[in-house]
Amino acid sequence: MIPVAKEVGSLRAIAAGGIVSPTGNPELPPEKEKQFRRELVLRALQTLQQEV
């Protein structure tokens, strides 16, 4: 989805957990999945603080 985001002019985009669960991963055990989501959201917040 990153190329699509860039194409339509989104300048801060990060790859997430996939099409059907961007901020999760049903394959992971619940605790690991929450950890994955936390890292992803922290990365998104970092991206918001970056110059583009």
Partner 1 sequence: MSTKIRVVHYLNQFFAQIGGEDKGDVGPTVKAGVIGAGRALQQALGEDAEVVATIYCGDNFIAEQQDQAISELLRHIAEYKADLLIAGPAFESGRYGVACGAICHAAQQKLGIAAVAGMDEDNVGAGLYRRSIYIVNSGSTIARMVPTLQRMAALGLKLARREAIGKPADEGYLTRGVKRNEIAARPPAERAVDMLLAKLAGKEFHSEIAPPKFAGGKPAAPLRDLKSAVIALVTDGGLVVEGNPDKIEPGRPTRFTSIPIQNVDTLDADKFDAVHSGYDTASANQDPNRLVPLDTLRELAREGVIGAVHEFIRSTGGAHAAVENATQIGRQIADQLKAAGVSGVILTST
Q: Nearest 5°: CA angle at 4, between 8 and 6?
A: 55
Distances (CA, A) of 31 to 12, 17, 24: 28, 15, 11
3 binds partner 1 (CB under 8 A): no
34 binds partner 1 (CB under 8 A): yes
32 binds partner 1 (CB under 8 A): no
- Tell me the residue type at 29: P
41 binds partner 1 (CB under 8 A): yes
CA distance 26 to 34: 11
51 binds partner 1 (CB under 8 A): yes
Give contact residues for partner 1 (rule: CB under 8 A): 1, 5, 7-9, 11-12, 16-17, 19-26, 33-34, 37-38, 40-42, 44-45, 48-52
